[in-house]
Structures are given as C-alpha cells and as structure tokens.
C-alpha cells in the first residue's frame, strides 16, 4: 500500500471561545469530520474528510465553525493546476474512473450572462403586472398545423393531448434512488401546488406518489427501471431519456448501496444491486427505432399523453431534434453541458456536449425552417439559475424550462458536489434513513413553491417591461435580446443583434 | 448611413381613420382627407396613405398592382417578370399633381393583370396563392421595385409626407369608393422611404395601424414558417400577413381569427361555462399562441366586404367608432369623425380586444 498523497481541500476553523462542545457537528456530519475528545473536552476535526456542505456551519448553535479553502498550495503553475495534479494522484491511487457530481463547474462561457433584455420606453408603454393581467401559462405538446372549423363555425380539429403549466418551469428528472423519497415528495407536492410538473427520473415511481399523477411526468430510460403499464399511465406525460447533459453518451449509474428495500421495489431490482443503465437503449439504434418506442408508449397510454424525448445538447442537436419531431415526439427536451447529475465520469461531464443556449437557438431555427416548430414543444434544461435565464431561454425559442440543481438548492443543497458518496447531510442525495429524515417535505415543498412564485413574479416584471402581457409573445422573440462580448459567429448562431444595434 | 426601412425595425405612433358605406354607395376621397388632416399633430410628415375599395369598377376582375420603382431600369426588369406570369390588361403611370410639400417621389405605376392560367396550373396552387407568391418574389428579389397594392377593384395610395398632402398629390377627390381608410405616420426615425408608409396591403387586405407591437419577432417568425417574407420589418406588414394566413390560407372565419390575435385571457377562459367553447378557446390559444398580437395597437383592416377595427387586449391605443345612417366611422380621435359627420347617430369607444365589424349589406356585395 503506497502512501496516500491526498491533501485536504478545505480547512475547518473552530472558534474555541465560541465552541460549547455540544457535539451537534459531530452528530450532523455523515462524513465523520468532527469528533469529540472527552479527555481534552474539545471537538476536533479532520480536514481531509470535509466536503464543505455547510451542514455543521448552519447547525452550530454558537456559530463557532467556519470553513474555507485550504491554504495549502502547490507551486504556481498555469498548466499543472492543483486540480490536475490531485486528479492524477487520485487515479494513481485507485485505478478508477474519476467521478463527479452536479454540473460542469469549469470556467467556460455562460452565454445567458452575455445576453441582455429589452424594455419599453416612450413609443410603447411598459405594462404593470401589479395592475394588469400578465399571463405565464403555457401549453406543452404537439399542435396541429392549423385549426379547422365547420360551416357553422364549430371547431372540428381534435387537439392532441396537452400539458397545462401555470408557469413555464418544471422540475427535471431526478430519480428515486439518486435523491431521497422525502426530496421526491417535496418536488411532487410543490408541482401540484404550483400547477406545474415534476419528473420522476429513471427510477420508477414510489407507490405513495401516484396520487400526484396530474403533476407528474414519468421517465423511461435505457435501464427501464420500474417501468410497467400502471407507471406509464400514472403521469400526464412520458419522457424517453436518450441522454443527459452531464453525461452525453452514457447511462445512469446508481451504486448498490443506495438500493435499499424501497428503492428496490420501486425500481424492480434486487436489494443492493447496482442499477447501471446501458449507454444506449438497446431497442433504439436509430431514429426509426425511436419512432417505434414513441408509438409503443402512445399505444400503451391510448394516445392520451404527450411523449417527451430528452437528449443531451451535442454538436448536431438541431438535426437530431428535427428527426425526433418527425419520429412523432410531442416534446423535445434538450439538456445543456452544464446540466447536473448525481454521478458522472468527470472527463465526460467536463468535456462532452455544448452550451444549451446554442443548442436551443439552432434547434428552434431548424424546426422553423422545416416548418415543424409547432409540431412539438421545446423544453430546455442544463443550468437555469434564475428567472432572467428563463426569460432569455424563452426569447431564444423555448416553450418551457426544466430546473434541477436550482430546485435542490432551494431544498438545502449547498453544491458540495458529493452526491455520489450517498452521504448527503441535507437529506437530498442519500438513501440513509437518518439523513433522509432531515429533509422535512412539509417545509421543503413550501420553499420550492416560494422559489417558483418569486421567479414567476420576476418573469412577469420583465415581460411587462418589454410591453408584453403573455409569455406566448416572448417565445422566439429574438428582437428582445441583444448580445454583449460575443463574436459574429456566436451572434449568428444565437440569431441576435449586438448591443447598440 | 441610416438603414432603409426593411433593414431595421422602426417604432412609430400614428393616426388612423376609416369610413364605410354599408349600402355600397361610393363617395370621393375628400372626407377621408379632411378627417385625417384634423389629426395633423399625430403624424410628423414622414408618411401618409390611403386605401380605397371599389375604385376600379371597369377593371374589377383584374388584379390591380400599384408599384414604386426607383428607376426605369428596374421597371423594365420587373415588367419582364410580370409579363411572364400575367396578361397585362392595362398599365399606366398613376396620375399625380405636383405639390410643394411632396418631393422626391419614385416612379409610381399601376398594372391591371390577369394571371396566366398555365403558370398557375403548373404550380398546382390557387389563383390568389399564385399572385401572393409573385408579389413576395418581386418585393424580395427585385431591388428598387416595391408592390404596395395588389387587390382587385381596390388600391392604395401612399408616400412620404403628411397624409393630407399625399391625398391631394394622388388626386383622391377623383376616385369613388365605398370604403376609405387613411393613415398618418409618426415614425421615430426613418430615411423616408415611400414603401414604408401605410396602409400595408396584400391581395385585398389593407391594414392601417397605430401602435408598436411588442410581439413583432414572435409573429414574424411564425408567419415566416408559412411562406411569408417580411421585407419591411414593420408591425403593419406582419399584422396583414397574420390575417391573410389565418383567413385565406387556414380558412378560419373572421370572428375566430379575431379570437386568435386578441385572445381572451386565460382567467376568462377558465371561467367559461360552456365546455365546447372553453375547449375551442384553449385550442386557439395553444395552436396559435405565436399569432397573439401583443403591445399597443389599434388597427383598421379593410377587405372587399367591409372593415374590422380592433384594439389590443388592454386598450393601449385610442379607437372611437360612430355610425350615421348606413355609414360607419372609425378613428383615433372623435374630433376626426365629427369634422366630417357633425351629427352621428351613435358614438362609442370599444373596449380592449372588442372587435368592430362593419360589413356591406349582403345585397350590395
């Protein structure tokens, strides 16, 4: 056994004057960072184990704990950064693939921040959402090319199934297994209260949550975990997951230790077995195969639910999206390279896929050029951080967005990016009973409702500022956007003008 | 260099007026000029125009194309294209009268045309679609030529200047029509291009419009999916295309088309008790979400059978209606109606999103 070269990332600073040796930190930390020495009557900590999740900081009654970046530095080197060195040491130590959690954290351009919005001045009045109607409802699903009326003026077109969202936001797919039952309950109840939808993810649906079906989208991924007829009919829509922004080209992994009795029943797999989704769907090796699955699901549900197809934003996403629409999907979901995950190979997460802003703009444009934009709704995800990201996404052509990380943060996630360890101190990304019960769904669903309500108010303010009183009139309305700090190619692909133009 | 209209979107405020005689009795352009002239302050001399229905009874079966040409060169090229696709029944320079306030007019011509049957059959489309495609082709690809009127037995007269001067320039007192609409423009920035003035027309549709629609790019990108090409980048153009698409191409009745462009609020739809109406309204808002016109506007849409006046959903622009015997008057201001009709039977302000439809009586259509 060689020497372990790992050095700590964080440093725990305990103010000895404030610490009352109450041991809350010792009990709260699943990573066993803190321990109490009765001999000295002090609480000690092991920096090496700390993931900086802030659980101890927030629960410490005397606020004695501070965590900061560890001061230990490697000699300055712009090429061999400390991260590069540490990753090599870790792999030399274990011989394994590097795993990471949550979205790509690297310093790459965030295009939302390079897009600015318009507002009305003089020639066009802004509209005050406090005093005038301001509509944010959207209908998700395939629309016919046109409506037909008979001679008496009655509508004779049968509408394909639609999902009504009061706000153009949904909670994105996070499986039961990757996150806890309590987290799922909070998401389901918040979606119900808000009149939006949450997505089950690929791990099936716990029996207790079938009652939230009107606000549920069930997912079918390559592992087909928990998929059977009742499950498919449980929600208002079905999502076929082809790929995910955090790990395009590979399937989901759930380690066996997260597969307890309840997850096992829900996923329909033995207790303790690893749930490894195959990289592709083994019944989809081409677009015509996708069509068969789409229609198999439509047949199973008697054509009563829109079928979503979710892909990761990759280089030729526009052509793929067009194929998906032509294959019969009612909703195309595109997940950008910043999208979150419970666990993904680090190299894949940080190097595969493209920014969602570009995938969105090029898909929307492509579908319009082919005259099929109305044939499917376009939902995007992959690091929507706030309401202005949503306004920009809709103006670039999205019908709605999925949020994952933001919803978890509302429930207590502090982005320590250690989901894959299964020791989430906030009770989110864990199946450990003592940790799961820390997340109180009665409180957390309200925090989710607060977040979406706040964002909805902000969206309404921005819409009103632009002189728009329905989100319908923002969709694809690129004149409301201007780019800053972008080159000509970026502007062309986004389809927007530069500031001042 | 300032960009010509069509390269850039120019916001503008405006005055509009419309008159229809439902009995089909025709009257000359003096009244409409008087009415729009009263609202002089609402325009700034950078655009005025008129649409008139019933003015070419002797050519009523032929498409009347009014075209601006920058020079004779482009006129010859355009005429070559026209000759390939149409039989020219007559063509002439549109008569004008010199006016010190109107300067730098382009060449202004009109053509009475019959589409060549063979060409239509080759393309397997109907006659109106054929004419529509030819108009789109010339306006997009013949630089320096611009068709500003393409209906039957109707015509548009417009240009850079105050509307009353444009009206006199085109000798509108010599034309007789049963519908007149007029527009005075207050663009915030324009190099003064004649094609940029209103009304905007396509086939028999004409639109005069006061406002700036905030949904422009959403509407534009929607109609462009259905073969329309927005050469002007003006709100009025896209509104005209929307009505043409909904009513002509999608065959939607006028009253339903109105429900699309000024859709009822979701809250009101939820309150609707009639389930089939509720379903219809939901379908309309779902399928035609991108055809909702947002932002402030008042418009008068003219067509061979009548006019439609419409405000945005929350009435952000003025619109007044009056009736006197068989005549209906619509205007941005009540005073502009009273100056030509001092004793109307009824005067009222329609609510936001409430359509005013004044049609020729059936026997006079």
CA distance A166 to chain B (A): 10
Nearest CA in chain B to A126: B295
Burial group, residue A314, by CB count within 10 angstroms (0-12, 13-18, 19+): middle
Q: Do A85 and A174 belong together in one domain? A: no
* CB-based contact A170:A199 (threshold 8 Å): yes
How far does Cα A425 stand from its chain's mean position? 20
Q: Do A79 and A206 belong together in one domain? A: no
Task: Return the structure tokens found at A289.
Answer: 């195969």
Residue B98's CB is within 10 A of a number of other CB atoms, namely 8
Whole-model pTM: value is 0.94
Burial group, residue A500, by CB count within 10 angstroms (0-12, 13-18, 19+): exposed
Question: What total of structural domains would you count in chain A?
Answer: 2
What does DSSP assign to residue A473? G
Q: Is residue A429 part of a domain?
A: yes
Give the residue-averaged pLDDT of A92-114: 95
CB proximity list for B132: less than 8 A, separation 6 or greater? B202, B203, B244
What does DSSP assign to residue B264? P
Helix, strand, coil percentages for chain A (3-state, nearest 5) = 35, 15, 50
Q: Do A278 and A404 belong together in one domain? A: yes
Contact flag A472-B225 (C-beta cutoff 8 Å): no
Q: Tell me which residue of B362, B326, B348 sits closest to B27, measured CA to CA.
A: B326
Q: Do A394 and A278 belong together in one domain? A: yes
Report yes or no: B155 at the A interface, CB cutoff 8 Å.
no
Report yes or no: A195 at the B interface, CB cutoff 8 Å.
no
**CA–CA dist B122, B136 (Å, integer):** 18
**Domain residue extents for chain B:** 12-212+235-254+295-364, 213-234+255-294
Residue A397: its pLDDT value, please? 98
Task: Return the structure tokens found at A47.
Answer: 């920096």
**How would residue B1 be classed by pLDDT, with cut points 50, 70 and 90?**
very low
Contact flag B287-A478 (C-beta cutoff 8 Å): no
Q: Tell me which residue of B24, B15, B65, B30 sits closest to B172, measured CA to CA.
A: B30
Tell me which residue range forms the domain holding A204.
138-144+165-498
Q: Is residue A150 part of a domain?
A: no
Give the residue-averaged pLDDT of A95-99: 94
Task: Return the structure tokens found at A466.
Answer: 């632009």
Q: What is the CATH number of the domain that holds A424?
A: 3.20.20.70
> Which residues, numbered 7 to 26 in chain B, qualify as contacts with chain A under a Cβ-Cβ cut-off of 8 Å?
9, 11-13
* CB-based contact B148:B156 (threshold 8 Å): yes
CB proximity list for A392: less than 8 A, separation 6 or greater? A112, A115, A117, A357, A481
pLDDT tens-place string over residues B13-31: 689 999 999 999 999 999 9
Q: Do A51 and A190 belong together in one domain? A: no
**How would residue A252 be classed by pLDDT, with cut points 50, 70 and 90?**
confident
Give the residue-averaged pLDDT of B170-188: 91
Q: Do A491 and A389 belong together in one domain? A: yes
Angle at alpha carbon of residue A190, lines to A189 and A194, rounded to 5°: 120
β-pairing, A169-171 with A163-165?
A: unpaired
Q: Is residue A107 part of a domain?
A: no
Dihedral sign for Cα A449, A202, A327, A162, please.
negative
Nearest to B295 among A132, A467, A475 (CB): A467
Among candidate residues B14, B134, B230, B341, the one labeled active-site is B14
CA distance B4 to chain A (A): 14
pLDDT tens-place string over residues A200-235: 999 999 999 999 999 999 999 999 999 999 999 999
Give the residue-averaged pLDDT of B252-264: 96
Contact flag B188-A123 (C-beta cutoff 8 Å): yes
Q: Is residue A156 part of a domain?
A: no
Please state which CATH number belongs to domain B12-212+235-254+295-364. Answer: 3.60.20.10
Residues of chain A contacting B266 with CB distance shorter than 8 Å: 135, 137
Q: Is residue A158 part of a domain?
A: no
Give the residue-averaged pLDDT of B119-135: 90
Enclosing H/E stretch for B76 = helix B72-85
**How would residue B233 be classed by pLDDT, with cut points 50, 70 and 90?**
confident
CA distance A9 to chain B (A): 49
Q: Is residue A106 part of a domain?
A: no
Residue A336's SS3 state is coil
Residue A480 reports pLDDT greater than 60: yes
Segment A105-114 long-range contacts (CB within 8 Å, at least 24 positions apart):
A105/A417, A106/A350, A108/A337, A108/A355, A109/A355, A110/A338, A111/A355, A111/A357, A111/A358, A111/A486, A111/A490, A111/A494, A112/A357, A112/A385, A112/A388, A112/A389, A112/A392, A112/A393, A114/A483, A114/A484, A114/A485, A114/A486, A114/A490
* CB-based contact A445:A412 (threshold 8 Å): no
Residues of chain A contacting B250 with CB distance shorter than 8 Å: 146-147
Residue A36 reports pLDDT greater than 90: yes
Contact flag A148-B212 (C-beta cutoff 8 Å): no
> Which residues, numbered 272 to 291 in chain B, qualify as contacts with chain A under a Cβ-Cβ cut-off of 8 Å?
276, 279-280, 282-290
* Dihedral angle, C-alpha B325, B330, B260, B206, nearest 10 °: 100
Q: What is the CATH number of the domain that holds A85?
A: 3.30.70.20
Q: Do A189 and A79 belong together in one domain? A: no
Task: Return the structure tokens found at B279.
Answer: 């379903």
Q: Do A75 and A219 belong together in one domain? A: no
* CB-based contact B299:B207 (threshold 8 Å): yes
User: B134 an active-site residue?
Assistant: no
């Amino acid at each position: 056994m060689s020497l372990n070269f790992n050095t700590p990332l964080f440093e725990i600073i305990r103010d000895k004057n404030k610490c009352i040796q109450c041991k809350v930190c010792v009990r709260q930390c699943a990573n066993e960072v803190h321990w109490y020495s009765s001999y000295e009557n002090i609480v000690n900590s092991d920096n090496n184990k700390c993931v900086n999740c802030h659980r101890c900081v927030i629960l410490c009654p005397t606020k004695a704990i501070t965590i900061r970046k560890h001061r230990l530095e490697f000699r300055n080197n712009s090429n061999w950064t400390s991260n590069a060195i540490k990753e090599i040491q870790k792999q030399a130590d274990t011989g394994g693939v590097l795993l990471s959690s949550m979205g790509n954290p690297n310093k790459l351009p965030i295009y939302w921040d390079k897009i600015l919005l318009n507002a009305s001045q003089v020639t066009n009045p802004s509209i005050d959402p406090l005093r005038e109607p301001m509509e944010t409802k959207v209908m998700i699903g395939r629309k016919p090319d046109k409506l037909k009326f008979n001679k008496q003026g009655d509508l004779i077109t049968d509408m394909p199934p639609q999902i009504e969202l009061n706000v153009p936001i949904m909670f994105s797919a996070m499986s039961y297994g990757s996150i806890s039952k309590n987290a799922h309950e909070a998401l389901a109840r918040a979606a119900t209260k808000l009149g939006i939808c949450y997505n089950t993810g690929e791990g099936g649906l716990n029996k207790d949550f079938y009652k939230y079906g009107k606000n549920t989208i069930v997912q079918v991924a390559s592992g087909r975990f928990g998929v059977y007829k009742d499950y498919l009919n449980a929600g208002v829509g079905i999502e076929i997951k082809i790929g995910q922004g955090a790990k395009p080209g590979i399937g989901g992994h759930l380690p066996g230790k997260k597969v307890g009795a309840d997850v096992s029943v829900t996923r329909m797999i033995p207790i303790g077995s690893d749930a490894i989704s195959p990289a592709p769907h083994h019944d989809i090796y081409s677009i015509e195969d996708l069509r068969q699955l789409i229609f198999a699901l439509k047949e199973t549900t008697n054509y009563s639910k829109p079928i979503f197809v979710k892909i990761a934003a990759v280089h030729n996403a526009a052509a793929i999206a067009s194929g998906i629409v032509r294959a019969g999907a009612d909703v195309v979901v595109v997940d950008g390279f910043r999208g979150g995950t419970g666990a993904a190979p680090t190299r894949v997460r940080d190097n595969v896929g493209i920014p969602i802003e570009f995938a969105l703009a090029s898909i929307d444009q492509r579908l319009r050029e082919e005259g099929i934009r109305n044939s499917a709704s376009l939902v995007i995800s992959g690091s929507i951080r706030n309401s202005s990201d949503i306004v920009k996404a809709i103006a670039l052509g999205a019908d709605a967005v999925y949020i994952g990380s933001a919803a978890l943060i509302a429930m207590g996630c502090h982005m320590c990016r250690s989901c894959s360890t299964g020791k989430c101190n906030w009770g989110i990304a864990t199946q450990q009973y003592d940790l799961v019960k820390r997340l109180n769904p009665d409180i957390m669903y309200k925090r989710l409702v607060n977040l979406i309500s706040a964002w909805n108010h902000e969206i309404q303010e921005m819409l009103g500022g632009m002189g728009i009183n329905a989100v319908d009139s923002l969709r694809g309305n690129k004149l409301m956007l201007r780019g800053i700090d972008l080159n000509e190619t970026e502007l062309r692909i986004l389809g927007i003008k530069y500031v001042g133009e | 260099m300032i960009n010509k209209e069509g390269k850039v979107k120019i916001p503008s405020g405006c005055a509009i007026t419309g008159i229809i005689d439902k009995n089909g009795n025709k009257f000359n352009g003096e009244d409409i000029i008087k009415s729009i002239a009263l609202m002089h302050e609402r325009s700034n001399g950078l655009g005025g125009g008129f649409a008139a229905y019933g003015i070419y009874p002797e050519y009523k079966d032929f498409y009347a194309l009014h075209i601006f040409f920058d020079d004779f060169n482009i006129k010859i090229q355009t005429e070559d294209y026209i000759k390939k696709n149409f039989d020219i029944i007559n063509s002439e320079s549109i008569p004008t009268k010199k006016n010190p306030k109107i300067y730098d007019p382009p060449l202004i011509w009109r053509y009475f045309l019959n589409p060549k049957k063979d060409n239509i059959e080759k393309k397997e489309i109907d006659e109106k679609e054929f004419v529509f495609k030819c108009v789109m082709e010339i306006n997009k690809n013949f630089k320096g030529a611009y068709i500003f009127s393409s209906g039957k037995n109707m015509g548009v007269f417009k240009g850079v200047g105050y509307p009353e001067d444009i009206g006199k320039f085109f000798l509108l007192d010599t034309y007789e029509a049963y519908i007149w609409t007029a527009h005075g423009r207050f663009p915030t920035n324009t190099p003064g291009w004649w094609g940029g003035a209103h009304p905007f027309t396509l086939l028999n549709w004409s639109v005069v419009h006061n406002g700036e629609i905030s949904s422009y790019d959403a509407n534009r990108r929607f109609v462009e999916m259905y073969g329309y090409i927005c050469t002007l980048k003006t709100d009025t153009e896209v509104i005209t295309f929307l009505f043409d698409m909904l009513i002509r191409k999608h065959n939607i009745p006028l009253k339903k088309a109105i429900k699309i462009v000024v859709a009822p609020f979701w809250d009101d739809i939820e309150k609707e008790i009639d389930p089939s109406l509720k379903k219809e309204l939901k379908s309309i808002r779902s399928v035609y979400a991108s055809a909702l016109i947002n932002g402030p506007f008042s418009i008068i849409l003219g067509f061979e059978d009548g006019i439609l006046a419409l405000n945005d959903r929350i009435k952000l622009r003025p619109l007044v209606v009056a009736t006197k015997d068989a005549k209906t008057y619509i205007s941005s201001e009540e005073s502009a109606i009273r100056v030509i009709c001092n004793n109307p039977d009824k005067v009222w302000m329609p609510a936001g999103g409430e359509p005013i439809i004044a049609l020729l009586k059936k026997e006079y259509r």
